[in-house]
Amino acid sequence: MTSVRKLLYSKKIAPYVFVLPFTLTFAVFFIYPLISTVRMSFQDILPGQVKWVGLSNYRRLLGDKVFGQAVFNSVRYMAITCALLIPFPMLFACMISSKSMRGAGVFKSLYFLPVLTSVVVAGLVFRMMFSELPGALMNSILALLGKPPIYWMKMEYPSLFALILLCCWRWTGMNMLYFIAGLKSIPAELYEAAEIDGANAAQKFLRVSWPLLKPTTIYVLTISIYAGLAMFTESYMVFGNNTSPHNYGLTIVGYLYRYGFEKLRMGYASAVGLALLVGAMLINLAQLSVTGAIGPRRARV
């Protein structure tokens, strides 16, 4: 009994006990599925039938033009959302955190409210907004401008605009809160010193806020890259299904869903999932290296 008590209260064992729940969860829900996916990607899996096919799934993947279209759609969507969901939330965060801002709490709530909205509900609303009917919201706006109604979801760039607008509406408030948290960590003395030196609001942002928000910016950029490449539900709900005209709304995850759950080709779908994982990792590693988050640090002059 004494030895068991010493074991439970051991300072050497305590750290391992605390990390054990995370380790088990990580192993069961990430490591094991990842190993299974790697194995399945070299197989042709049909209902009641498993066949080892080697690299056939990957060769098929590289030669599939539809997969290439899905990759192009996802990368384009990711690039545009990253270009919009970093500078504008940062600007809004600085405005709301300003001492001269009145009703900051109200604006925070209004910006964050879309984050709490179900993506399914938001997708349905945006589908009705961009409907091809003359009475739909976007076509009504066109009518006020003297323009004829258009088939939003059957055209490449109008449908892309609908998806980008939905993404910005939902996630601007979330990213803004990240930047507000980053601004709270900046010492007020730096702004006071800038004011003494005669810096205006724009100069304080460029010389103090922006450089010190670099860690927050890198974090937001990292999660935005992943979210952009992994987008699926928004496209599915806006288009009403996983098939869009000329595959304008097809994403990598939508392509994976098509073969994994609609056509039940789990081996090929596993190869698609691994391609998405490797692609997302390479893009994030590249941006982390460019921003200096990883790799050798440059010596300061």
pLDDT tens per residue across span 218-239: 999 999 999 999 999 999 999 9
pLDDT given at position 207: 87
Q: What CA–CA distance (Å, rounded) separates 180 from 209?
A: 11
Biggest CA-to-CA distance, the chain: 86
Mean pLDDT across the stretch 119-131?
A: 92
Is 70 exceeded by the pLDDT of residue 297?
no
Please list, in sequence order, all residues whose beta carbon lies within 8 angstroms of the beta carbon of residue 65, skipping any fewer than 6 positions away.
none
Q: Where are the domains of the chain?
A: 1-40, 58-290
CA nearest neighbour of 175 among 183, 57, 246: 183
Mean pLDDT across the stretch 151-174?
A: 93
Residue 43 forms beta bridges with which residues? 52
pLDDT tens digits for range 245-284? 899 999 999 999 999 988 888 999 999 999 999 999 999 9
**To which H or E segment does residue 39 belong?**
helix 32-40
pLDDT given at position 7: 63
**To which H or E segment does residue 45 belong?**
strand 43-46
Average pLDDT, the chain: 88
Banded model confidence at residue 133, pLDDT cuts 50, 70, 90: confident
pLDDT given at position 254: 94
Is 90 exceeded by the pLDDT of residue 127?
yes
Number of H helices and E strands in the chain, helices first, is: 17, 2
pLDDT given at position 2: 63
pLDDT given at position 4: 62
Please list, in sequence order, all residues whose beta carbon lies within 8 angstroms of the beta carbon of residue 242, skipping any fewer than 6 positions away.
236, 250, 254, 257, 258, 262
Q: What CA–CA distance (Å, rounded) separates 255 from 235?
A: 12
pLDDT given at position 99: 77
The CA radius of gyration of the chain, in Å to the nearest whole number, is 24
Is the CB of residue 250 less than 8 Å from the CB of residue 66?
yes
Banded model confidence at residue 298, pLDDT cuts 50, 70, 90: low
Banded model confidence at residue 301, pLDDT cuts 50, 70, 90: very low
Q: What CA–CA distance (Å, rounded) separates 169 from 5?
A: 55
pLDDT given at position 300: 45
pLDDT-wise least confident of 106-110, 142-146, 177-181? 106-110
Is 50 exceeded by the pLDDT of residue 177?
yes
- Fill in the DSSP letter of residue 149: -
Q: How many CB atoms lie within 10 A of CB 69?
A: 16
pLDDT tens digits for range 2-49? 666 666 667 777 777 788 889 999 999 989 999 999 999 999 887 778
pLDDT tens digits for range 72-106? 999 999 999 999 999 999 999 988 888 777 888 88
Q: What CA–CA distance (Å, rounded) separates 288 from 280?
A: 12
Q: Classify domain 58-290 by CATH architecture.
A: Orthogonal Bundle (1.10)
